[in-house]
Amino acid sequence: VLPLPRLHTLLAKNTRLGGPGSLPKGLGQAPLGRSLRVLNLSGNRFAEVPPALLGLRGLQSLSLGGNRLHGIPPDIQELRSLEFLYLGGNFITSIPPELANLPSLSYLVLCDNKIQSIPPQLAQLHSLRSLSLHNNLLTYLPREILNLVHLEELSLRGNPLVVRFVRDLTYNPPSLQELAGRTIKTRNVPYAPSDLPENLVRYLSLASNCPNPKCGGVYFDSCVRQIKFVDFCGKYRIPLMHYLCSPECSSPCSSASQSSTSQSESDSEDEASVAARRMQKVLLG
């Protein structure tokens, strides 16, 4: 079967492959199985990764984009020489942890699927340099993803995670009226009710103090929402919403630990903030 002992690259894109017998069963045992390094089967009709491909132990690049795949078989780990794996444009809903057992994998493309979560085991892909996950259904990333120290490109656009992340970062700048009110309050500019229109006097009375102890500022309408976990009765940690006068007040370098927050919690928050800033760079360029 396929006695092509010197064939290095096989391109079979958009050829309507995918039915029974599309690929010979003994593909991995044929001479082609030892020589083939690049295989492109994108734009076909495969509903699953053909088992015959899993015997191509010398394969370095595999493209199955734009097919009808609903999953990735755990036996994908048998392709130990794989450096490039393209599975974009399918119907894949989950990633098997076994994918992390590909020691040479440098480029992994899983965009335009229906993936909802990333297994933390992917952090073991120490050779990974590019990970494309855009246009999926991701709502979070495992913390372990930060261990991919050699990762140079991470694409996440078009996921609920990024949509929410960008939305939470949006901050409407204060109006001129609020800026004036903040100046009056923070600098203790003296005024009497008779000096200003009644509506401005009422507006100035609505000022709220920023909870950041190192800020001392105030806000009226324009503020930043933030969840703060606070110890309650020494038994529970409850999430409380509080409001800051500006995005800068949410950074760890400008806020002090609250007395109700333990030192270990503060350390973990600082670590989480560093991780969040790193992820913000990745997401927003």
DSSP assignment of 172-209, as one string? Answer: PPPPHHHHHHHHHHHTT----GGGS-HHHHHHHTT-EE
For residue 6, pLDDT over 60 is answered with yes
- Tokens, residue 191: 């005024």
CA angle in degrees (0–180, nearest 5) for 61-66-71: 80
Q: Is the pLDDT confidence value at 27 over 80?
A: no
Other Cβ atoms closer than 10 A to 134: 18
Q: Does the pLDDT value for residue 221 go beyond 90?
A: no
Look at residue 264 in the predicted model and tell me its pLDDT: 36
pLDDT of residue 145: 86
Q: For the residues 167-179, what does the mean pLDDT come to? A: 77
Confidence band (pLDDT; 50, 70, 90) for 215? confident
Separation in Å, CA 119 to CA 30, 46, 94, 103, 112: 34, 24, 9, 16, 18
Q: pLDDT digits over 182-200, tens only?
A: 999 999 999 888 888 888 8
Query: Looking up tokens 């083939």, which residue turns up?
Result: 36
Q: What is residue 170's predicted lDDT score, i.e. its pLDDT?
A: 63
Residues 11 and 32 sit within 8 Å (Cβ to Cβ): no
Q: Tell whether the model's pLDDT for residue 271 goes beyond 70.
A: no
CA atoms within 13 A of residue 16's CA, in its CB half-sphere: 0
Q: Residue type for 167, please? A: R
| Greatest mean pLDDT range, 119-128, 190-199, 240-249, 253-262 | 119-128
- Pick the closest to residue 22 from 9, 39, 8 (CA basis): 39
N residues, the chain: 285
Name the least confident of 58-62, 168-172, 225-229, 281-285.
Answer: 281-285
Alpha carbon separation from 72 to 9, 249, 256 (Å, rounded): 23, 44, 47
CATH H-level superfamily of 9-168: Ribonuclease Inhibitor (3.80.10.10)
* pLDDT at 266 exceeding the cut of 80: no
Q: Which residues of 206-230 are buried (b: 16+ CB within 10 A; e: fewer)?
A: ebeebebeebebbbbeebbebeeee
Residue 277 vs residue 257, higher pLDDT = 277
Domain residue limits, the chain: 9-168, 176-236
Share of the chain above pLDDT 90, in %: 41
Mean pLDDT, the chain, as a whole number?
Answer: 81
Give the pLDDT score at 246: 84
pLDDT, one tens digit per residue, over 63-111 is 999 999 999 999 999 999 999 999 999 999 999 999 999 999 999 999 9
Is the model more confident about 195 or about 128? 128
